[in-house]
């Protein structure tokens, strides 16, 4: 049976025609949106073309990094990914104050360091320890999920704080600390940021075969091995997403208060 799996590895490559048909399918869906006046056709087409270009570019970059097999190049690429992730996070988050880039950067950096030190080096244990195929791809998967969750959590926090303005001011007047006054908003924001991640973790397997597992199986990997990798990735992403949401809340909640522990209405 292992011989059959090995023989099928890489047996289904996607050529240019496959990519073209995929884009045409998206164009048909966008056409339906136009006819039904849903208003998402432009964003859908733009997101599809942007995704194609970015993924192909990253594919060439990872191929180059794997060929060089140099740890410094790996970490340089991850550093660029983190910086880009900071910008994307700030762009996705709505109604947040300016100047939060350092907090977001620190949050993402901590998560990547935890992933590399715990997941890659203690669980996967690649050889060499900086194996680009593992290091870069797993960092990319983590950042993609953490960026989305962090943006949602920050947006929810500042929106919730504004809606609770009079409650927060009352709590402060009664002697509560800024953290105590902000805690309900912190809790609801972390929960909101975790909903997609927990839902994906809970539904994976019977209901959903995640992309990483599906891709490995299609490429000819042993399904059981692919399932183990997918579980590790989903479980770790869930844990690190919770850490990221909690950490970013601790780092940004003070921006809603002045140095005299008064609520900052313009936040």
pLDDT at 61 over 50: yes
Q: What's the mean pLDDT when you consider all of the chain?
A: 86
The residue whose two tokens read 């994976």 is: 204
Instruction: Kindly report the number of other CB atoms within 10 A of residue 54's CB atom.
Output: 10
Percent of the chain with pLDDT over 90: 37
Residue 257's DSSP bridge partners are 263
Tens-digit pLDDT profile for residues 152-194? 999 999 999 999 999 999 999 999 999 999 999 999 999 988 8
What pLDDT does residue 3 have? 44
Tens-digit pLDDT profile for residues 188-243? 999 988 888 888 777 777 777 777 777 777 777 788 888 888 888 888 888 989 99
Q: Please say whether the beta carbons of 248 and 107 come within 8 A.
A: yes
Q: How far is the C-alpha of 227 from the C-alpha of 207, rounded, in Å?
A: 14
What pLDDT does residue 6 have? 45
pLDDT band, residue 19 (cuts 50/70/90): confident
Residues with Cβ within 8 Å of 231's Cβ and at least 6 positions away in sequence, in order, are 204
Angle among Cα 54, 66, 58 to the nearest 5 degrees reads 0
pTM of the model: 0.80
Q: How far is the C-alpha of 69 from the C-alpha of 242, rounded, in Å?
A: 32
The residue whose two tokens read 């991850």 is: 78
What pLDDT does residue 123 have? 84
The residue whose two tokens read 């009664």 is: 174
Find the mean pLDDT for residues 23-41: 89
Tokens of 253: 């909640």
Find the mean pLDDT for residues 68-78: 91
Q: Please say whether the beta carbons of 171 and 109 come within 8 A.
A: no
Tens-digit pLDDT profile for residues 141-153? 888 889 989 999 9
pLDDT at 8 over 60: no
**Alpha helix ranges (H) inside 119-264:** 132-163, 165-173, 178-203, 211-218, 223-252
Q: Map residue 257 onto helix, strand or coil.
A: strand
Percent of the chain with pLDDT over 70: 94
What pLDDT does residue 245 have? 92
pLDDT at 31 over 60: yes
């Amino acid at each position: 049976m292992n011989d059959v799996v090995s023989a099928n590895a890489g047996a289904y490559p996607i050529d240019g025609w496959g990519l073209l048909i995929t884009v045409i399918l998206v164009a048909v869906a966008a056409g339906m949106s136009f006819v039904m006046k849903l208003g998402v056709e432009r964003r859908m087409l733009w997101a599809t073309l942007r995704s194609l270009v970015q993924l192909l570019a990253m594919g060439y970059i990872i191929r180059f990094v794997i060929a060089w097999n140099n740890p410094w190049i790996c970490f340089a690429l991850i550093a660029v990914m983190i910086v880009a992730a900071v910008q994307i996070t700030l762009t996705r988050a709505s109604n947040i104050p300016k100047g939060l880039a350092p907090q977001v950067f620190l949050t993402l950096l901590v998560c990547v360091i935890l992933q590399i030190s715990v997941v890659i080096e203690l669980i996967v244990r690649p050889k060499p320890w900086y194996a680009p195929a593992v290091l870069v791809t797993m960092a990319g998967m983590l950042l993609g999920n953490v960026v989305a969750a962090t943006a949602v959590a920050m947006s929810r926090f500042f929106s919730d704080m504004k809606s609770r303005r009079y409650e927060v001011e009352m709590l402060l007047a009664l002697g509560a600390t800024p953290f105590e006054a902000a805690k309900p908003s912190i809790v609801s924001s972390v929960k909101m940021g975790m909903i997609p991640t927990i839902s994906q973790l809970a539904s994976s397997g019977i209901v959903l075969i995640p992309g990483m597992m599906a891709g490995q199986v299609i490429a000819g990997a042993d399904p059981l091995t692919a399932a183990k990798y997918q579980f590790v990735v989903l479980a770790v992403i869930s844990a690190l997403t919770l850490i990221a949401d909690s950490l970013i809340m601790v780092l940004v909640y003070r921006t809603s208060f002045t140095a005299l522990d008064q609520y900052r209405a313009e936040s």
